[in-house]
């Protein structure tokens, strides 16, 4: 996982009322996607109706991380009628989100765009706390990646073609190491996966992810 020089984490989070604030630092990859999902799932269950993600310090996202965001945005809208907003999105990442259709699931604002007052972090802004990935077994890693790419493929017919080979590979991995889940892992009560794969697992997973720098 690539990181910014001054920190050993890539996610900072806070909650104020029904709004959750997140800041992405450095590269956002599959190593922290499941932790983001864990936090987001808990927040939705506890009454969150809006998620505001600041991407101003984000150096890139891989497809697993974007797929986790897609799943969170979908669940937020379906379960609470709420919305996800991504602020300060760098131009290249903005175009990728648009290409994948994620701008249909969440509001994406380019870097430098002034948000509406209700979407701005309040003043004083809430203190953001870092969250980091921890160890998880290979089966959890595979299921998280499979769910994330399934989320992306569900957005459009183009994405189904785009991620067809990745999904085939991931499904075969899951079949080899365990039964294929019939529902998304976050839909199973009590399932809150955390992830930090080994170096060999990370190497393979990196080959199966689309990286956006």
Q: Where do the structural domains in the chain lie, given as residue ranges?
A: 1-199
pLDDT value for 135: 57
Measured CA to CA, the distance from residue 18 to residue 47 in angstroms comes to 6
Q: Does domain 1-199 have CATH number 2.40.110.10?
A: no
Between strands 19-24 and 11-16, the pairing is antiparallel
Token readout for 28 is 């956002």
Query: Taking all residues of the chain, what is their mean pLDDT, rounded to a whole number?
Result: 77
pLDDT value for 99: 96
- pTM of the full predicted structure? 0.76
Per-residue pLDDT tens over the stretch 109-146: 998 776 554 455 554 556 788 886 665 567 777 788 99
pLDDT value for 9: 66
């Amino acid at each position: 996982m690539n990181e910014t020089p001054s920190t050993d984490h890539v996610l900072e989070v806070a909650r104020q009322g029904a709004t959750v604030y997140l800041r992405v630092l450095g590269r956002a990859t599959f190593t922290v996607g499941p932790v983001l999902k864990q936090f987001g799932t808990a927040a939705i269950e506890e009454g969150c109706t809006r998620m505001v993600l600041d991407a101003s310090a984000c150096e890139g996202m891989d497809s697993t991380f974007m797929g986790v965001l897609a799943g969170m945005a979908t669940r937020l809208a379906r379960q609470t009628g709420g919305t996800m907003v991504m602020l300060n999105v760098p131009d290249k990442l903005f175009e990728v989100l648009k290409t994948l259709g994620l701008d249909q699931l969440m509001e994406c604002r380019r870097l430098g765009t002034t948000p509406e007052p209700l979407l701005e972090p309040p003043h004083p802004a809430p203190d953001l706390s870092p969250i980091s990935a921890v160890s998880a077994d290979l089966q959890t890693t595979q299921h998280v990646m499979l769910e994330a790419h399934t989320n992306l493929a569900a957005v459009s017919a183009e994405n189904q073609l785009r991620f067809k080979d990745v999904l085939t590979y991931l499904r075969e991995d899951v079949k080899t190491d365990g039964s294929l889940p019939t529902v998304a892992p976050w839909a199973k009560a009590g399932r809150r996966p955390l992830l930090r794969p080994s170096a060999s697992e990370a190497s393979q997973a990196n080959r199966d992810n689309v990286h956006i720098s």
